[in-house]
Chain A
Amino acid sequence: DVKVTQSSRYLVKRTGEKVFLECVQDMDHENMFWYRQDPGLGLRLIYFSYDVKMKEKGDIPEGYSVSREKKERFSLILESASTNQTSMYLCASSLSTPGQRVGELFFGEGSRLTVL
């Protein structure tokens, strides 16, 4: 089974701190994604990556950056955390090779970030 692991389930940070959220997948997936989940707003795409060292902005990239130095690892960075970034962050990966499971997202357990 595909496993997507997010390094921290719960984090509490202070306004202005730099925050790193790490995500690792073990199935050699090409695509990796960071979503933000807020009540009543569903999942909103922050950034995604189709390959190592490649990144694309999603729908709400402001205040975030990402890094993908290795295929299996995709990091989300909050350069200066703010209270409106308090949220649940979900990492996901998927295959891009055409086949039965193309497009299907495999999610991590989520990282709940609170910014005070």
Chain B
Amino acid sequence: AQTVTQSQPEMSVQEAETVTLSCTYDTSESDYYLFWYKQPPSRQMILVIRQEAYKQQNATENRFSVNFQKAAKSFSLKISDSQLGDAAMYFCAYSKLGKSTFGDGTTLTVKP
């Protein structure tokens, strides 16, 4: 079974600084998707960024980017110019054939 590991239960960052959230996963598959989701306090979980495993280029979405290392099975999320609204729990997820496996989450605190 696939597993997803987020080794940082909590992280904090100063407003306007950069932070990187770590994620590793285990799979024997070669074609799959990886996602980062954000869950603000008491609010709906939403997609931050996605990566197709067959693409070598790292995905970016405005201030959010990933470092996808397929051989190392690593998928970290970098948040640049952190904003107060980035404070949330972040989940890394592995998806294959429509079924997703999630990590335990990282709670990100943004300090003003």
Contacts from A to B (Cβ < 8 Å): 31, 33, 35, 40-45, 48, 50, 90, 94, 96, 102-105, 107-110
B98 touches A50 (CB 8 A): yes
B35 touches A42 (CB 8 A): no
Among residues of A, the one whose C-beta sits closest to the C-beta of B34 is: A103
> How many whole Å from A102's CB to the nearest CB in chain B?
8
CB neighbours of B99 from chain A (8 A): 45, 48
CB neighbours of A31 from chain B (8 A): 98
Mostly, the B contact residues are strand
Within 8 A of A (CB), among B25-44: 33, 35, 37, 43-44
> How many whole Å from B34's CB to the nearest CB in chain A?
9
A43 touches B98 (CB 8 A): no
CB neighbours of B100 from chain A (8 A): 33, 45, 103, 105
B104 touches A108 (CB 8 A): no
CB neighbours of B35 from chain A (8 A): 103-105
Centre residue among B44, B47, B93 by max chain A CB count within 10 A:
B44
CB neighbours of B84 from chain A (8 A): none
Given A42-B91, A45-B101; 16 other pairs, CB 8 A cutoff: A40-B9, A42-B6, A45-B99, A48-B98, A48-B99, A94-B98, A96-B98, A103-B35, A104-B47, A105-B93, A105-B100, A107-B37, A107-B44, A107-B45, A107-B46, A109-B44
B103 touches A42 (CB 8 A): yes
A50 to B97, CA, bound (A): 10
CB neighbours of A102 from chain B (8 A): 33, 98
Among residues of B, the one whose C-beta sits closest to the C-beta of A43 is: B102
CB neighbours of B95 from chain A (8 A): 103
Decide: A41 near B50, CB < 8 A? Known: A48-B99, A50-B98, A103-B95. no
CB neighbours of B102 from chain A (8 A): 35, 42-44
Decide: A90 near B50, CB < 8 A? Known: A103-B95, A105-B37. no
> How many whole Å from B61's CB to the nearest CB in chain A?
13
